[in-house]
Structure 1
Amino acid sequence: MNDDIELLVERDADSLAAAVADQLVSSIAALQAQGHVPSIVLTGGTIAGSVHRMVAARSDDRVDWTRVELFWGDERFVPADSGERNERQAREALLDHVGVDASRVHPMPADDGTVSLETAAAAYADEVRDRGFDIVMLGVGPDGHVASLFPGKPSLTVVDHDTIAEADSPKPPPSRISLTFAALNRGREVWLLVSGEGKADAVASAIGTGDVTATPAAGVRGTEQTLWMLDEGAASRLPPDMR
């Protein structure tokens, strides 16, 4: 295992989501106690939905949600009211319940029929240009993808843009906007949230071989911390001394 990677392994998906929620609330509270406005990159997916609900349930006076900047690592380029939007999932599970400041919520553009996917991606690049992030949360697919950076795609080698327009995602829907490694790796802390034995091979590949072309999750690193947060199923292909 690379020396700069840390592991947290929980018993199952529920335990993992609870641990992530606790750590997120504690981290945001600590940053705000230092007078900082935390900048968080949210992710989508099943485990993210559980985390969002648990964070909402834990919201108390430790966190001032009007003083949190929120971004997304990727988004499906579909209409704003689509249930496939990561933004909609986050709003319904978390943001609508904690009193966020709308001006500090930075969703990726939706498909409103007036702009192209490429124009929308460029607009979000302007939104995040020169920004660092305190915490970047990412899911990992069974194929090892993170955000909408998929194995073998040209987007894996983009170093001069903060976003890419992915028009042919191997996972539907095909049209997506994603942050690139250049943007994701400006995160002070990167948390990779992975649940289930079906993703165990991808986890082992990303942590063990570091082959970004085959397993894009190997390409993300926090400037201060890279934390893989797993349940026992997702960790099951790692060597025993690493679990």
Structure 2
Amino acid sequence: MTTDRRVLVHSDKDSLAGAVAARFITKIIDILDENDVAHVVLSGGSVNTAVLAAIRDSPAQNNVDWSRIHFWWGDERFVEADSPDRNDLQARDALLDHIPVDKEKIHAFASTDEIADIDEAAAAYAAALVDAAYEGSLYPRFDIMFLGVGPDGHIASLFPGLSGIAERTATVVAVRNSPKPPPLRLSLTLPVIQSADRIWLVLAGADKASALGLALAGASEEEVPVAGAEGRKRTVFFVDREAAAEVPASLIAPSY
């Protein structure tokens, strides 16, 4: 896969979140100038949630036509709807409950309250992807996909050594043995992730440095799943200085 891949380094988590928020607002306005709707995939985790809060707090977000944006998630913890572990609950608290978004365009994974069986929940999300796709496709064109990265290099809920990272047919997988609690999760698969026009990976902290360094050095996606995160048009790693400790200097883009 050929893609424009770059690393943008920021001094700390707060400046990182603010910079990504500003870039998102600018880019999504451009996307909506060219398209009737946009599809954005959100991620959980403290840093990505901080980005959403920074978007909410930016005066520039009033220039976005939020009613034309579909929101999806790369993965979800298969727990009760009101569990603080839910990625969609974190996103609603940080951003979605504070903007004039069309509720029908918020595509959350099912909770255990809605669908008790995890395989049925995976099938339901796969069906939702098809419903929003162009005719003949299994999923919509994702304009921007946010991803976090774990210390082990996992993205969404695709973990090294587990079968999900090798799935090439299904669009959504049920994860029953996540090494990071809670154990039951739902996740988009790597082909769906790689279909996104732009993948934005946002990560901070020294515990992420090794995984990021390995991914950019050519590790396999089975060993370090983030190595497989490449968008169709562009892949950007937004990182703080600690997370960038093992990134080759040649891959770090000048400040923008």
Superposition TM-score, scaled by structure 1 size: 0.96
Superposed, 1:12-161 pairs within 5 Å as 12-58=12-58, 59-112=60-113, 114-129=115-130, 130=138, 131-161=140-170
Asked whether the equivalents of residues 210 and 219 of structure 1 are also in contact (C-alpha less than 8 Å), the reply is: no
2: distance between equivalents of 1:225 and 1:216?
Answer: 18
Q: How far 1:5 sits from its partner (Å)?
A: 1.4
- 1:226 lines up with 2:227 in the alignment: no
1: distance between equivalents of 2:178 and 2:159?
Answer: 8
- 1:217 lines up with 2:218 in the alignment: no
Moved over 4 A (4+): none
Q: How far 1:31 sits from its partner (Å)?
A: 1.3
Unaligned ranges ≥5, structure 1: none
The one-letter code of the counterpart of 1:63 is V
Asked whether the equivalents of residues 144 and 216 of structure 1 are also in contact (C-alpha less than 8 Å), the reply is: yes
2: distance between equivalents of 1:60 and 1:203?
Answer: 30
Identity %: 40
The one-letter code of the counterpart of 1:157 is A
Q: Which one of the candidate residues 206, 210, 217 is aligned to 2:215?
A: 206
2: distance between equivalents of 1:51 and 1:224?
Answer: 22
The aligned length equals 242
Asked whether the equivalents of residues 3 and 230 of structure 2 are also in contact (C-alpha less than 8 Å), the reply is: no
The one-letter code of the counterpart of 2:197 is R
Structure 2 residue matching 1:133: 3-state secondary structure: coil
Asked whether the equivalents of residues 8 and 228 of structure 1 are also in contact (C-alpha less than 8 Å), the reply is: yes
Distance 1:172 1:111, change over 3 A: same
Asked whether the equivalents of residues 144 and 215 of structure 1 are also in contact (C-alpha less than 8 Å), the reply is: yes
Asked whether the equivalents of residues 76 and 87 of structure 2 are also in contact (C-alpha less than 8 Å), the reply is: yes
Unaligned ranges ≥5, structure 2: 131-137
